[in-house]
Chain A
Amino acid sequence: MNASFLAALRRIAGDDGVYCEPLEVLTYECDALTHLRQSPAAVVLPSSAAAVQQIVRLCANEGVSFVPRGHGTGLSGGALPVEGGIVIGLSRLNRVLDVDIRNRRVTVEPGVTNLEITRQVAPAGYYYAPDPSSQQVCSIGGNVAENSGGAHCLKYGFTVHHVLAADVVLPSGDLVQMGSEFADAPGPDLLGLLIGSEGTLGIATKITVRILRRPESVQTLLAAFDTIEQGGAAVSDIVSAGIIPAAIEMMDTLAIQAAEAAVHPGFPAADTVLIVELDGPDAEVRELFDVVEQICRTNGAATIEVAKTEPQRARIWKGRKAAFAAMGRVSPNYYVQDGVVPRTRLPEVLNRIRQLERSSGLRIGNVFHAGDGNLHPLICYDERVPGQAEQAEAVAAEILGYCVDAGGSLTGEHGIGVDKSQYMPRMFSDVDLALMARVRSVFDPRSLCNPGKVLPTPRLCGEVPGPYRAHPVERDGLGERF
Chain B
Amino acid sequence: MIAVDALRASGHELETRDPDPDRDRIDDVVPRLVILPRTGEAAAGALRWAAGQRLSVVIRGQGSKSGWGARPPAVDVLLDMSMLNRILAHEAGDLTVTVEAGIRLRDLNAALAPHRQWLALDPPFGEQATIGGLLATNDSGPQRHRFGTPRDLVIGIQLATTDGQVAKSGGQVVKNVAGYDLSKIISGSFGSLAAIVAATFKLAPVPEASATVAIDRLDPDGLASVADAIAASQLEPVAFDLHVEQPPQPAPPRIDCLIRFASFRRVVEAESASAAARIAGLNQPVTVVEGDAEREVWASQSRRPWSGAGAVVRLAWRPGDVRPMLAAAIDSAGAQGFELAGRLGAGSGLMRLAGPDRDQRPVIERLRASEALANVVVVRAPLELRTREFVWGAPLNAALMSGLKRELDPAGILGAGRGPVPSFVERPV
Contacts and interface: CB of A to CB of B under 8 A. Distances in A.
Contacts of B167: 429, 431-432, 434-435
Given A189-B185, A283-B271, A170 B400 contact: yes
A241 to B, nearest CB: 8
Interface string A132-147: 0000000000000011
Contacts of A192: 151, 181, 183-185, 187
B283 to A, nearest CB: 23
A65 to B, nearest CB: 19
Interface string B78-93: 0000000000000111
Given A427-B178, A431-B166, A182 B152 contact: no
Band of interface residues on A: 35 or more
A441 to B, nearest CB: 7
Contact of A157 (B152, B159, B314, B320): B152
B394 to A, nearest CB: 10
Given A236-B93, A281-B234, A342-B94, A436 B180 contact: yes
A432 B161 CA distance: 11
Contacts of A283: 266-267, 270-271, 274
B318 interface: yes
B234 A442 contact: no
Interface string B378-401: 000000000000001101110111
Given A188-B193, A432-B167, A373 B400 contact: no
B177 A183 contact: no
Contacts of B393: 186
B181 A341 contact: no
B318 A181 contact: yes
Given A342-B173, A412-B175, A197 B180 contact: yes
* Most chain B CB within a 10 A radius of its CB, from A104, A153, A170: A104
A188 B186 contact: yes
* Most chain B CB within a 10 A radius of its CB, from A161, A189, A429: A189
A441 B410 CA distance: 14
A57 interface: no
Band of interface residues on B: 35 or more
Contacts of B161: 435
A435 B162 CA distance: 12
A411 to B, nearest CB: 5
Interface in A363-412: 369, 372-374, 407-412
B234 A214 contact: yes
Contacts of A242: 116, 205-208, 264
B403 interface: yes
B263 interface: yes
A283 B420 CA distance: 45
Given A180-B374, A412-B176, A442 B116 contact: no
A104 B397 contact: no
A158 B148 CA distance: 13
A178 interface: yes
Given A182-B374, A407-B173, A189 B347 contact: no
A243 B116 CA distance: 12
A189 B180 CA distance: 13
B234 A189 contact: no
Nearest to A147: B177
B138 interface: yes
A134 to B, nearest CB: 15
Contacts of A433: 179
A207 to B, nearest CB: 17
B177 A413 contact: yes
A213 B186 CA distance: 31
Contact of B263 (A196, A239, A284, A441): A284
* Most chain A CB within a 10 A radius of its CB, from B167, B180, B373, B404: B180
Interface of B: 91-96, 116, 138, 148, 151-152, 159, 161, 165-169, 171-189, 193, 204-208, 231-236, 263-264, 266-267, 270-271, 274, 314, 316-321, 343, 346-348, 373-375, 377, 392-393, 395-397, 399-401, 403-404, 406-408, 419-421
7 contacts: A157-B148, A215-B234, A280-B236, A288-B267, A340-B176, A424-B178, A442-B407
Given A182-B318, A340-B176, A411-B178, 11 more contacts: A125-B232, A180-B316, A184-B375, A190-B397, A240-B92, A281-B236, A284-B263, A284-B271, A374-B175, A424-B179, A442-B406
